[in-house]
Amino acid sequence: MGYVGDVGNRAQDTPGGSSDGGVHPPPIVDAGGAVAPDGWAGEGASVGQSPLRRLGKVEMLHTLHDLFPALPASFDANVDLPLDNDIALAFSLPGTVSDLEVRRFMDLAEAALTALGPNAPNQKFVCTGSDQTACARDFINTFGRRAFRRPLAQVEADDLVALYTKLRTDPAMNYAFADALGILVEAMLQSPGFLYRWERGLSAPQVDGMLVKYDSYEVASRLSYYLWNTMPDDALFAAADANELTTPDQIADQAARLLQDPRADETLADFITQWLELGPLSTTIKDANVYPTFKPELLDSMRAETVALSHDVLRGTAPTFSALLTAPYTFVDAQLAQYYGVVPDANGRVDLSGTARLGLLTQGALMSVKGNSYRTSPVRRGKFVLNRMLCQTIPPPPPNVVPELPPPDPTKTVREQMAEHRSQPSCAACHNTMDLLGFAFEHFDGAGNYRINDMGQPIDSSGSATIDGQVASFADAAALAKVLASSHEAHDCFTREWIRYAIDRFEQSADTAAVSYLVTTYEGSGLDTRDLIVRITRTLPFSHRAPADGEVLTP
């Protein structure tokens, strides 16, 4: 799963669904403001709309590997995957399907079967009876349940049986039994049941007052794609079959199980690297004349450093936001240790006390990806802090009013260059905010290393920003990290980032109760991030959605 940019068009005043007429216990305020212990929403509960999603690139690959354990790892590199409309920053939003995407789905399905060869499920399937069509139907229902992440409706199986018959009997095709089943597998992989997060299938939505409650199969996939980036495992399927994914406790118990599993490590790393916008890191280039000790191989080491510290914090005894930002230690491999000039212990751990480094923000990965090729970039670093740590926005430069700036004077420090930059009134409004945050990182050069001077002058890394409604001044990046670590605004932002990651959409105003609840409980738990990751699954935005405009709610 990932961050997405798609927002339901209306947050409030969603049309009411028909009342389900059922008798529910009186609302009990619990998770997210209004989900009762039995999992049904209380009266007046609201939640945002949630557009239909398609599997993203990573989700699709993981799902194929789970669906076909015999699929070789080399498969991934050799297929042209449908795009997520990636836009480098951290989005993962599969968009509408054009004809080229349809071809990609087709190629992907065929390539999967080819790569599986004799290990494909159709080749392994044995028809014991004499009625091959009945066997085909069994195969369709068994494989289809996993491919669609839910049981198939009768009519869906009928369609596939009809396709099977055509494949066997059409004179131009005339497939043998196992080959026909292979084409059925390809067909199912191109079907909306596989491609879309559509685990409700053909059934009517579960109407819950004004809302729609996800059914157990939908919840199973919501959990698995959130925490493992893939299809549900056997335990989740079993829970869904037993309809035991309906109450907040049942859902959260499964979430806790998935989070505890090492398979969630990749999700934690995925969240952290997307949150820190490290996507472009691997293709970052630095000028060898300016940074002679930098080597491109270090970029992987830097990413690994960020992942290792996050893993240590989030899997450790104090998995807190503040620890992520202010951990006085890090983990480096041999070449990064040499680059930084530090001496790690046998586990690669480096004690940072007494140094300028502190936590994730001062690591080589973020400093490099937010640095230019030949110098630092207070603008990009400051903008990053505003966007990602404080959930504040900076409008883009207005078209047609950006003055042509003179090329930077290379004899001046970056700070001096930026001062000229901000002397333009049309720039100053935004750049004052970004630059004064970004200056805090001036001790870290564009390639992530510590430096004392800039153009022979001692570095001034002081800055200021309005945080939690007050002007905070800080002497350097470590001081800024400490301010952020204890900032309510930053806690609120970090909580929102996790919510977006979990529910695959932006929060909307109808989700306000759940967001406030999660921010409050996060701070109340002493910033226990593992608790937050699980607790999100107890709330309405995870278990419910508002009906879509024009959706057919009646059975």
Write out the binding residues for another protein, residues 481-510 only, by CB under 8 A: 500, 506
Q: How far apart are CA 522 and CA 539, in angstroms?
A: 13
Hey, which residues does 474 pair with through a beta bridge? 463
Nearer to another protein, 84 or 454 (CB): 84
User: Which of 79, 106, 342, 356 is in the footprint of another protein by CB under 8 A?
Assistant: 106
Rounded to 10 deg, the angle between the 177-189 and 154-169 helix axes is 130
Residue the block writes with tokens 């293709």:
283
Which DSSP letter does residue 46 get?
-
CA distance 14 to 460: 52
Nearest to residue 17, comparing CAs of 214, 227, 209, 258? Answer: 209
412 scored as a contact of another protein (CB under 8 A): no
Nearest approach, Cβ of residue 398 and another protein (Å) = 4
Q: Is 294 a binder of another protein (CB under 8 A)?
A: no
Question: What's the CA gap between 58 and 299, in Å, rounded?
Answer: 22
Binding mask 354-393 toward another protein (x if CB under 8 A, else -) reads ------------------xxx--------x--xxx----x
Does 235 bind another protein (CB under 8 A)? Our answer is: no
> Is 103 one of the binding residues for another protein (CB under 8 A)?
yes
Distance CA 57, CA 86 (A): 10
Of the pair 180, 514, the CB lying nearest another protein is at 180
Q: How far is CA 237 from CA 201, 380, 409, 426, in A?
A: 15, 45, 63, 57
Find the binder of another protein among 68, 75, 140, 156 (CB under 8 A).
Answer: 156
Under 8 Å between Cβ of 494 and 321: yes
**Which H helix or E strand runs over 457?**
strand 457-458
Taking the complex as a whole, the smallest distance from the CB of residue 176 to another protein amounts, in Å, to: 13
Residue 296 in contact with another protein, rule: CB under 8 A: no
Q: Could you say which residues in the range 184-213 bind another protein, by CB under 8 A?
A: 186-187, 190-193, 196, 198, 201-202, 204-205
The footprint of another protein on residues 51-70 (CB under 8 A) is 51-52
Which of 26, 262, 399, 406 binds another protein (CB under 8 A)? It is 399
CA–CA dist 223, 249 (Å, integer): 13
Told to check if 398 binds another protein by CB under 8 A, we report: yes
Site for another protein in 436-455 (CB under 8 A): none
- Look up residue 389 and give its DSSP letter: I
Angle ∠(51,529,483) on CA atoms, nearest 5: 105
**Distance, CA of 361 to CA of 371 (rounded, Å):** 13
- Please report whether residue 90 would count as binding another protein according to CB under 8 A: yes
Does residue 160 touch another protein according to CB under 8 A? yes
Q: Verify binding: residue 80, another protein, rule CB under 8 A.
A: yes
Nearer to another protein, 100 or 238 (CB): 100
C-alpha span between 367 and 451 (Å, rounded)? 12
Asked if 279 interacts with another protein (CB under 8 A), we say no
Q: Is there binding between residue 113 and another protein (CB under 8 A)?
A: no
Which position among 72, 95, 292, 524 is part of the footprint of another protein (CB under 8 A)?
Answer: 95
Judged by CB under 8 A, the chain residues 163 through 182 that form the site for another protein are 163, 166-167, 170, 172-173
What are φ and ψ of residue 508, in 5° steps? -120, 170
User: Which C-beta is closer to another protein: that of 388 or that of 538?
Assistant: 388
Among 402, 428, 429, 475, contact with another protein (rule: CB under 8 A)? 402
Selected range binding another protein among 22-30, 37-45, 281-289, 339-347, rule: CB under 8 A: 281-289
Give the shortest CB-331-to-another protein separation in angstroms: 25
Q: Is 78 in the site for another protein (CB under 8 A)?
A: no
CB of 386 to another protein, least distance (A): 7
* CA torsion through residues 247, 248, 254, 255, sign: positive
Of 40-48, 120-128, 161-169, 522-530, the window that binds another protein (rule: CB under 8 A) is: 161-169
Neighbour tally for 132: CB within 10 Å: 14
396 binds another protein (CB under 8 A): yes
Smallest distance, Å, CB 286 to another protein?
7
Q: Give kind and range of the element (H or E) at residue 206.
A: strand 206-208
* Among the residue ranges 1-9, 16-24, 129-137, 300-308, the one whose residues contact another protein (CB under 8 A): 1-9
Which one of the spans 88-96, 304-312, 355-363, 533-541 is the region binding another protein (CB under 8 A)? 88-96
Binding to another protein, residues 115-134 (CB under 8 A): none
Tell me which long-range contacts 389-397 makes (C-beta under 8 A, separation of at least 24): 389/484, 389/490, 389/493, 389/494, 390/467, 390/484, 390/487, 390/489, 390/490, 390/493, 391/489, 391/492, 391/493, 391/496, 391/497, 394/430, 394/433, 394/434, 395/430, 397/427
Tell me the number of residues near another protein by CB under 8 A.
Answer: 86
